[in-house]
């Protein structure tokens, strides 16, 4: 029997190589025998970054029970066996550390003969502090600031980061407290792992280098999951599979999991049926991929980041995004411990139950993806874009009766949208844009004043609504309310609006802002339009699903931008158990949705739903101006051409070209 000295120094190895060479699982474990890191190859890149210390942080977001704990144990074992240094492991709770991780750590010492010989047993061995070659491995939990600030460390491992408190005893984020322990070690690195929780995350367009579809970077305000925020800050590596049919690489995720579709509207697919017929569809060739292919796809799988490309032979070229954080994401579909059928059965069971918390648990833990309760009623942005028509931007179709402008006020700009309204509530998006400038100052409002006075394609604005929910500037700095002041100057057709967070008895309520001495609305005071937010945002989403050929159609100009379409579906309607309705943001930018909601309210104010169709003869019955006589001056010509209500000012092809760049 070979004797292992507790002070013996071994050559450095990668954590996965050390685990394969030194760890042997006992018979009572799920996979007894020598440790095989290739069973979960997607964990190897993350553990190697922790072993080499080339990055300050190594982050991995994935589903539950995917092998990340064994990866952490490989990292701990290799470091303490080959180059012992203080290590701190941080779990979400004290019970998690003692009841779950501590037995696994003791199992690591038993599985490796070289490492087990270096462990000091006896009175100095504690539940939360182990000594290996005289060097401590401390177990701490996120509820104790004292434990997180106790000892210096060369390596920190933070497990289930999303389950930790944001602020510990008023002393800050647990990650910040942990990383402060490594200031005295030049090669200090932090490994962070967790199952993601809540966030508005969508797929990006296919990457220009690899053709892969990565997760789009969302605004931090739209992400509540701490691990996903860290993932976005890093290199954003995704685990990619090679399709067994077309041999092209793709990134597996929940939306690629499918099962047999019902043969009729009455047929309901049971969870068991979904499990029996489950498969993953390749987004490139659309062939069905079965569980029998998973082991081979994991064996040839690769971690790839945006900007990198993959050759047919599996070679990666190009550099990942520049960051001091190496971040990785793995879909729960890649787990060798659960089949596609089991994932499908769990998902269908949760969806049939309809409970949001249960669905979130499945999405987070089974698939490793962020969850956002979309209310089941928000359309997709592609549905919005399907309404684009054949008319050009900046032109007013003949069927338009009234032109309405709505404005959303931000701190540094005014976001505007012009829509034309016709009979039976049919409408056409004419144009949209932004006036940039600090809205507490007068300049940007002068731009808006000039804009509303100039017709679009020969038609004046009938009504202008401005959202006054945001007040530019503090009252102490700017006693004048710029929005109210602007509406007062143009009060013949400009009104301030304000959305209500509660359901209103009527969708629109008009009130006077200024009061007289008796506390009653002043006769000539400024009129405020109160809007039922839920009613008018729901109206917009209803119109998105409205058939274009039906009366009351909702149309967009040809070539409408994707950003506009995404903003229209940037919020989802959610009905809470209490009966209250909330609109949850999926993306930070939602200004055009707010503008379109005000457009819906404007159509109600103008009674467009009851407006009859105009006879074409009415639109063309106005007499044309007489031709200029010889000797007519330029001034007289302009005056003659602009006389009369029906003639309208000179047309312009596109108002977007006149806006400040």
Helix, strand, coil percentages, rounded to 5, for the chain: 35, 20, 45
In degrees and rounded to multiples of 5, residue 421 shows phi and psi of -120, 135
Torsion region of 609: left, alpha or beta (phi above 0 gives left; psi -120 to 50 gives alpha): alpha
Measured CA to CA, the distance from residue 215 to residue 234 in angstroms comes to 13
In degrees and rounded to multiples of 5, residue 316 shows phi and psi of -95, 135
* Dihedral sign (CA 544, 545, 551, 552): negative
pTM (predicted TM-score)? 0.66
CA triple 274-275-277, angle to 5 deg: 65
Q: Which letter, b or e, does each residue of 509-543 get, where b requires 16 or more Cβ atoms within 10 Å of its Cβ? A: eeeebeeeeeeebeeebbebbbbbbbbbbbbbbeb
Measured CA to CA, the distance from residue 365 to residue 348 in angstroms comes to 15
Per-residue pLDDT, 524? 62
- Bridging pattern class, strands 527-532 and 494-500: parallel
The structural architecture, per CATH, of the domain 15-34+53-194 is 3-Layer(aba) Sandwich (3.40)
List where CATH 3.40.50.300 sits in the chain.
15-34+53-194
373 by Cβ neighbours in 10 Å (0-12 / 13-18 / 19+) ranks as middle
Rg (the chain; Cα; Å): 32
Q: Contact, 369 vs 363, CB < 8 A? A: yes
Local structure of 143: helix, strand or coil: coil
List where CATH 3.30.420.240 sits in the chain.
382-615
Torsion of CA 359, 360, 366, 368, to 10 degrees: 150
Q: Which of the following CATH numbers is that of domain 382-615: 3.40.50.970, 3.10.129.10, 3.40.50.300, 3.30.420.240?
A: 3.30.420.240
What residues pair up with 434 in beta bridges, in sequence order? 415
Residue 295: C-alpha distances to residues 17, 247, 254, 570, 578 (Å): 20, 15, 18, 38, 46
Give the chain's length.
Answer: 661
CA triple 114-117-123, angle to 5 deg: 150
52 by Cβ neighbours in 10 Å (0-12 / 13-18 / 19+) ranks as middle
| 492 C-beta neighbours (distance < 10 Å), count | 6
What distance, in Å, lies between the first and last C-alpha atoms of the chain?
Answer: 79
Which of 401, 428, 406, 402 lies closest to 417, judged by CA? 406
CB proximity list for 250: less than 8 A, separation 6 or greater: 212, 213, 240, 241, 243, 256, 282, 283, 284
Place of tokens 């069973």: 39
Per-residue pLDDT, 439? 93
Per-residue pLDDT, 170? 59
| 275 C-beta neighbours (distance < 10 Å), count | 20
Structure tokens at 335: 């787990």
Q: Contact, 408 vs 605, CB < 8 A? A: no
- Bridging pattern class, strands 57-61 and 325-329: parallel
CA triple 44-49-50, angle to 5 deg: 100
With helix as H, strand as E and coil as C, how does 106-138 read? Answer: HHHHHHCHHHHCCECCCCCCECCEEEECCEEEE
Per-residue pLDDT, 273? 93
Local structure of 254: helix, strand or coil: helix
Measured CA to CA, the distance from residue 283 to residue 204 in angstroms comes to 14
- Bridging pattern class, strands 527-532 and 461-467: unpaired
Task: State which residues of the chain have pLDDT below 50.
Answer: 1-7, 376, 516-517, 519, 521, 616-661
Strand 494-500's sheet: what is its strand order? 508-512, 527-532, 494-500, 461-467, 402-409, 413-421, 427-436, 554-555
Give the residue ranges of DSSP H helices in 505-644: 533-544, 562-568, 591-605, 616-620, 634-641
Q: Contact, 596 vs 535, CB < 8 A? A: no
| 92 C-beta neighbours (distance < 10 Å), count | 20
Which of 443, 464, 434, 459 lies closest to 592, judged by CA? 434
Q: Contact, 24 vs 111, CB < 8 A? A: yes
């Amino acid at each position: 029997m070979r004797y292992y000295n507790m002070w013996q120094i071994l050559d450095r190895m990668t954590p996965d190589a050390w685990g394969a060479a030194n760890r042997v699982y006992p018979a009572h474990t799920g996979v007894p025998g020598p440790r095989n890191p290739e069973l979960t190859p997607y964990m190897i890149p993350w553990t190697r970054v922790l072993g080499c210390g080339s990055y300050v942080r190594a982050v991995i977001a994935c589903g539950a029970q995917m092998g990340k704990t064994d990866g952490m144990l490989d990292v701990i074992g290799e470091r303490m066996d080959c180059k012992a240094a203080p290590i701190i492991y941080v779990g979400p709770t004290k019970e998690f550390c003692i009841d779950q991780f501590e037995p696994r750590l003791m199992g690591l010492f038993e599985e490796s003969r070289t490492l087990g010989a270096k462990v000091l047993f006896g009175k100095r061995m504690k539940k939360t502090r182990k000594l290996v070659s005289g060097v401590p491995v401390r177990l701490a939990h996120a509820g104790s600031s004292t434990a997180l600030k106790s000892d210096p460390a060369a390596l920190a491992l933070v497990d289930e980061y999303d389950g930790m408190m944001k602020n510990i005893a008023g002393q800050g984020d647990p990650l910040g407290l942990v990383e402060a322990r490594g200031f005295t070690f030049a090669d200090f690195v932090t490994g962070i792992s967790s199952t993601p929780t809540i966030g508005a995350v969508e797929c990006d367009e296919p990457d220009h280098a690899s053709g892969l579809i990565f997760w789009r970077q969302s605004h931090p305000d739209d992400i509540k999951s701490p691990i996903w925020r860290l993932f976005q800050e890093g290199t954003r590596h995704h685990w990619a599979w090679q399709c067994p049919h077309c041999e092209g690489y793709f990134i597996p995720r929940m939306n690629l999991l499918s099962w047999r579709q019902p043969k009729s509207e009455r047929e309901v697919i049971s969870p068991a049926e979904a499990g029996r017929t489950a498969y993953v569809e390749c987004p490139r060739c659309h062939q069905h991929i079965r569980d029998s292919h998973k082991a081979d796809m994991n064996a040839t799988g690769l971690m790839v980041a945006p900007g990198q490309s993959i050759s047919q032979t599996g070679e990666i070229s190009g550099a990942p995004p520049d960051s001091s954080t190496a971040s990785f994401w793995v879909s729960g579909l890649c787990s060798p411990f659960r089949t596609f059928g089991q994932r499908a059965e769990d998902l269908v069971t949760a969806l049939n139950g309809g409970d949001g918390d249960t669905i979130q648990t499945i999405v987070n833990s089974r698939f490793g993806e962020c969850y956002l309760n979309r209310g089941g009623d928000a359309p997709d942005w592609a549905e919005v874009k399907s309404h684009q028509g054949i008319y050009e931007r900046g032109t007013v179709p003949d069927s338009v009766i009234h032109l309405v402008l709505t404005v959303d006020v931000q701190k540094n700009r005014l976001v505007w949208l012009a829509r034309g309204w016709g009979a039976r509530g049919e409408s056409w998006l004419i144009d949209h844009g932004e006036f940039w400038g600090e809205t507490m100052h007068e300049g940007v409002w002068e731009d808006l004043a000039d804009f509303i006075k100039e017709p679009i394609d020969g038609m004046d604005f009938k009504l202008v609504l401005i959202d006054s929910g945001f007040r530019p500037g503090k009252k102490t700095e700017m006693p004048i309310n710029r929005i109210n002041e602007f509406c007062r100057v143009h009060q013949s057709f400009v009104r301030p609006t304000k959305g209500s967070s509660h359901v209103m008895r009527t969708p629109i309520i008009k009130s006077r802002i200024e009061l007289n001495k008796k506390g009653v609305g002043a006769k000539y005071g400024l009129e405020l339009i109160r809007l039922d937010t839920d009613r008018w945002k729901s109206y917009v989403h209803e119109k998105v699903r409205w058939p274009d050929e039906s009366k009351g159609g909702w149309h967009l100009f040809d070539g409408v931008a994707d950003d506009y379409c995404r903003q229209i579906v940037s919020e989802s309607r959610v009905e809470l158990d209490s009966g209250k309705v909330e609109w949850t943001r999926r993306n930070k930018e939602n200004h055009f949705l707010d503008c379109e909601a005000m457009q819906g309210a404007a159509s109600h104010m103008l009674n467009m739903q009851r407006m009859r169709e105009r006879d074409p003869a009415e639109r063309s019955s106005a007499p044309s101006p007489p031709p200029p006589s010889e000797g007519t001056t330029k001034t007289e010509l302009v005056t003659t051409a602009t006389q009369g209500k029906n003639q309208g000012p000179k047309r312009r092809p596109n108002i977007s070209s006149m806006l400040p760049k």
